[in-house]
Amino acid sequence: MYNFNKIEKKWQEFWRKNKTYKVFEDSKKEKFYVLDMFPYPSGSGLSVGHPLGYIASDIYARYKTLKGFNVLHPMGYDSFGLPTEHYAIQTGIHPAIATFENTKRYRIQLDKIGFSYDWDREIQTSDPKYYKWTQWIFKQLFNSFFCKKTQKARDISELTAYFIKQGNHTLDAVCSEETPIFSASEWQKYSEVDKQKILLNYRLAFLSETWVNWCEKLGTVLANDEVKDGFSERGSYPVEQKLMQQWSLRITAYADRLLDGLKVLDWSTSIKEIQRNWIGKSVGANILFSVLKYNKNIKVFTTRPDTIFGVNFLVLAPEHPLCNVITIKSQKKDVKQYIDEIKLKSEKERKSEVKKITGVFTGSYAEHPITSKKIPIWIGDYVVSNYGTGAIMAVPCGDQRDWNFAQHFNIKKINVFKDVDISESANENDDIVIQNSDFLNNLSSSEAIEKVIAVLKEKGSGERAVTYRIRDAVFSRQRYWGEPFPVYYKNELPYLLEDNEVLELPEISEYLPTSSGEPPLARAKREQWKKFQGDRMEFNVMPGWAGSSWYFLRYMDPQNDVEFVNKQKVNYWKQVDLYIGGAEHAVGHLLYSRFWTKFLFDKGLIPFEEPFKKMINQGMILGRSNFVYKLKESNTFVSFDKKDKYETIRLHVDINLVENDFLNIEKFKKWRPENSSARFILNNDNKYLCSYEIEKMSKSKYNIHTPDILVEKFGADTLRLYEMFLGPIEQFKPWDSQGISGVHNFLKKFWKLIHNDKNEFFISESPPQKNELKNIHKTIKKVEEDIQRYSFNTVVSTLMICLNQLIEKKCNKRDIITDFTILLSPYTPHIAEEVWQKLGHKESITKSSFPKVNTKYLIDKNITYPVSFNGKKRFTIDVSSEASKEDIENIIMQYEKTIQYLNGNSPKKVIIVPNKIINFVV
């Protein structure tokens, strides 16, 4: 009997006691780093969906170990985050306590599945020993700027040295738009406060005024997807656009390198494409239009300078700083009203409202830089403030949105180029020959672009420009459960805490914003901050992605208290060789960690600039939900097949109360108090039928299968094998517990093959035959090829086929079983260890090595047999040299020509002389 419970417990304990999975830097061995995206330890524990990627990476890690690599395969928790904070607000339980409980539960669940993690390397992002270093990296960002010439981050002290010598006239560095130009002597005359303000414009971590979705009632900034129709998704409170002082990281400085780096990554093309779009590089020109009577310039960004003769009006984004400045008196009221209206809409909403055209005229005009014609200046919300320059030159004959705007507001005198069809030319960069446009006549679009840029440059009213869609990343949150900034304020200017020690989260009484709308940390009193300095401390905390941007480095050296990671260690382990995780992180986590890695590389702290060489995104495991139908305004439930006669509401029902889609009414009545009095309209078979749907596995849909129950019923080895067997790792697939027993039987059959009736280990010591060797070596070859291409599911079927062949041949020979057990061990490590021990090994199977294919056994040699009937040769047949007499007889009896010659008779005798002849006596 295959007692998986006993076996699995035994080996999990063995691994723990012997620290089987502990790894050190070992210069004699080649390293391999396999990483999972670490989980956020939520209150609801793991479902069967979570371990899918973990199992795949564990198999790969174990395979690489067997191949002689020194494998780093760690695990930890991304443990700062909102759900825990909400839980704290609701229950008053400190988020650290809830986190502790949740991680404890995760650990128990993970341990039961038999992963090969080196748990001595566990990290938690909310642990002060960890976030000490997240804060330290923030300090490095604060103390750096980005030099465009060398395309890398450099120390801010180099910048001040430069300013002292030559001001910033000739400096080629990334900085905020509003940075003033100054000379060396001007710099020296600036006050300390002014100097700090200027430096903030260059720092890679900087404070600035940013437009955010502000919800007064909730006292916090909301992300775009937390806002619906101008109201908060939670609570439906009004949300407005507000300029707020926020920490941001200058990720835009790295836009080009983030784009270039994608080329060398072995990631899916779809994720690379998402990142490319997110970065959104556009090449064109910035063109200046002077505003008549106001002595101001409007700078527009365009990808089509060649359409300059088609400009009919300019449009400013409602947030553009010139809106108020250049609006004439009689238009002021309308403009103010319009801008106030727009403030209530989020950016996402504005972009999605394709059809609704809104705008207002400023009353002012600009001068066309080439023709000097008067051009009206409008304000419109189809122009977004944080793209390009937040202002455009509108070319109705070239751009559909400009055309629609002009039509809507009846902006007259639209230039239409001869022969240019609007719909075709809109948003295209194709070579359209532009007519009727002065010196551009008969030039192709690309020639015209060059020409216009040259002409404008000469006039000083335009230059080549590149714009990126990517924005600097807002890095502060008005929350509690995140990393506090190691920052204090003096005269409203931020300064870093000087020592390299951690600034711990202070204890506070409530996790809500203050009554004046300040973040929860503003509740902390002076003495609650262990290192209070200046006038006040920073009240914001870092966002969820701070800790996850560099965690892969900390696993290399998790206990280090003097460095974020030791240099020798990071030189040894280097990049993650294989990263497995969800595709939902295509932008956030994956982009930010690439950015931080490049930055740390620039600072000479790590020897590579891409964190994750190869990535696989596992598909989601979907759940099968069940539904009941409740009559409206009554406590009666109607069977699915009868529901059409009634007006009903569809409700999720816990799948544990349903069997084969039939509801267990007794259990259902006990499920919730109000169900005890429920009544039922049953179907003709007197049963209650539920409907079903395949959807995301989630607690709120009551369709979760937990690994715990399955492990108890079938064992972790079966669960591991089954999750892989479900299908290709990257595919989305529904969970179906039914198939699991088939996979379980496979392990039972294996057990039976090597045990006698008394459950005693029993194998044969005789040397394997050729066909048995061929069998196992074919399997070794296929298993290895499949694992190497991450085809984890096909390995399972290959092993199944091999086992069936062994059973058929009753082959339980030591050599064959030894190889087979090693092949099995990455998938089902517990049973493999048990058999390994029974085979007489003292050490763990993980210390053995992956069997080598011997191609000599793979060759299929054929023998050509003459086939005779009553001694007369009729035809020949090719049969494998390894076929047994029985095999040959089977093959020959099925053969088409044999059937023909036998003509319905069965032979009296079949004589087979191996390697010679086949003769039928009929």
What is the binding site for ligand ANZ (CB under 6 A)? Answer: 282, 301-304, 307, 317, 383-384, 387-388, 390, 392-393, 395, 398-399, 427, 467
Nearest distance, CB of residue 202 and ligand ANZ, angstroms: 24
For 395, phi then psi, to 5°, come to -125, 85
In terms of CB distance, is 401 or 830 closer to ligand ANZ? Answer: 401
Q: Give the β-pairing of 374-380 and 313-316.
A: parallel
Q: What is the DSSP letter of 637?
A: E
Handedness of CA 204, 206, 209, 213 (dihedral sign): positive
Nearest distance, CB of residue 282 and ligand ANZ, angstroms: 3
Q: Give the β-pairing of 691-696 and 621-631.
A: antiparallel
In terms of CB distance, is 420 or 600 closer to ligand ANZ? Answer: 420
Q: Is residue 777 a contact partner of residue 768, using CB atoms and an 8 Å limit?
A: no
Nearest distance, CB of residue 392 and ligand ANZ, angstroms: 5
Q: Is residue 122 a contact partner of residue 577, using CB atoms and an 8 Å limit?
A: no
Nearest distance, CB of residue 784 and ligand ANZ, angstroms: 47
Exposure class string for 273-292: b at 16+ Cβ within 10 A, else e:
ebbeebbeeeebbbbbbebe
In terms of CB distance, is 469 or 574 closer to ligand ANZ? Answer: 469
Q: Is residue 391 a contact partner of residue 383, using CB atoms and an 8 Å limit?
A: yes
The C-alpha atoms of residue 66 and residue 29 are separated, in whole angstroms, by: 12
In terms of CB distance, is 50 or 320 closer to ligand ANZ? Answer: 320
Q: Is residue 616 a contact partner of residue 56, using CB atoms and an 8 Å limit?
A: yes
Nearest distance, CB of residue 280 and ligand ANZ, angstroms: 7
Nearest distance, CB of residue 224 and ligand ANZ, angstroms: 16
The C-alpha atoms of residue 484 and residue 619 are separated, in whole angstroms, by: 35
In terms of CB distance, is 75 or 393 closer to ligand ANZ? Answer: 393
The C-alpha atoms of residue 218 and residue 670 are separated, in whole angstroms, by: 38
Q: For residue 508, how many other CB atoms are within 10 A of its CB?
A: 16
Q: Give the β-pairing of 70-72 and 31-36.
A: parallel
In terms of CB distance, is 32 or 301 closer to ligand ANZ? Answer: 301
Nearest distance, CB of residue 747 and ligand ANZ, angstroms: 56
Nearest distance, CB of residue 467 and ligand ANZ, angstroms: 6
Nearest distance, CB of residue 476 and ligand ANZ, angstroms: 25
In terms of CB distance, is 109 or 302 closer to ligand ANZ? Answer: 302
Handedness of CA 217, 223, 229, 230 (dihedral sign): positive
- Residue 685's nearest CA partner among 650, 653, 661, 652 is 661
The C-alpha atoms of residue 274 and residue 618 are separated, in whole angstroms, by: 17
In terms of CB distance, is 387 or 680 closer to ligand ANZ? Answer: 387
Nearest distance, CB of residue 301 and ligand ANZ, angstroms: 5
In terms of CB distance, is 304 or 598 closer to ligand ANZ? Answer: 304
Nearest distance, CB of residue 283 and ligand ANZ, angstroms: 9
In terms of CB distance, is 452 or 716 closer to ligand ANZ? Answer: 452
Name the one residue in this structure whose structure tokens are 């190691």.
486
How crowded is the C-beta side of 202, counted as CA atoms within 13 Å? 28
In terms of CB distance, is 212 or 719 closer to ligand ANZ? Answer: 212
Q: Is residue 204 a contact partner of residue 250, using CB atoms and an 8 Å limit?
A: yes
In terms of CB distance, is 301 or 629 closer to ligand ANZ? Answer: 301
Here the tokens at position 53 are: 């990627």
Nearest distance, CB of residue 286 and ligand ANZ, angstroms: 10
Nearest distance, CB of residue 383 and ligand ANZ, angstroms: 4
Q: What is the DSSP letter of 490?
A: E
In terms of CB distance, is 301 or 857 closer to ligand ANZ? Answer: 301
Nearest distance, CB of residue 245 and ligand ANZ, angstroms: 23
Nearest distance, CB of residue 368 and ligand ANZ, angstroms: 13
Q: Is residue 56 a contact partner of residue 790, using CB atoms and an 8 Å limit?
A: yes
In terms of CB distance, is 37 or 432 closer to ligand ANZ? Answer: 432
Nearest distance, CB of residue 315 and ligand ANZ, angstroms: 8
The C-alpha atoms of residue 197 and residue 542 are separated, in whole angstroms, by: 22
3-state SS of 211-273?
EEEEECCCCEEECHHHEECCEECCCCCECEEEEEEEEEECHHHHHHHHHHHHHHCECCHHHHH
Q: Is 204 exposed, middle or buried (0-12, 13-18, 19+ CB in 10 A)?
A: buried
For 648, phi then psi, to 5°, come to -130, 165
The residue nearest ligand ANZ at its CB is 398
In terms of CB distance, is 15 or 313 closer to ligand ANZ? Answer: 313
Residues 6 or more apart in contact with residue 155 via CB below 8 angstroms: 143, 144
In terms of CB distance, is 432 or 487 closer to ligand ANZ? Answer: 432
Q: Is residue 77 a contact partner of residue 107, using CB atoms and an 8 Å limit?
A: no
The C-alpha atoms of residue 692 and residue 702 are separated, in whole angstroms, by: 12
The C-alpha atoms of residue 111 and residue 828 are separated, in whole angstroms, by: 14
Nearest distance, CB of residue 640 and ligand ANZ, angstroms: 49
Name the one residue in this structure whose structure tokens are 């009203």.
337
Q: Is residue 396 a contact partner of residue 384, using CB atoms and an 8 Å limit?
A: no
Amino acid making up residue 372:
S
Q: What is the DSSP letter of 523?
A: G
In terms of CB distance, is 282 or 764 closer to ligand ANZ? Answer: 282
The C-alpha atoms of residue 62 and residue 454 are separated, in whole angstroms, by: 61
Q: Is residue 738 a contact partner of residue 755, using CB atoms and an 8 Å limit?
A: no
3-class state of residue 393 by DSSP = strand
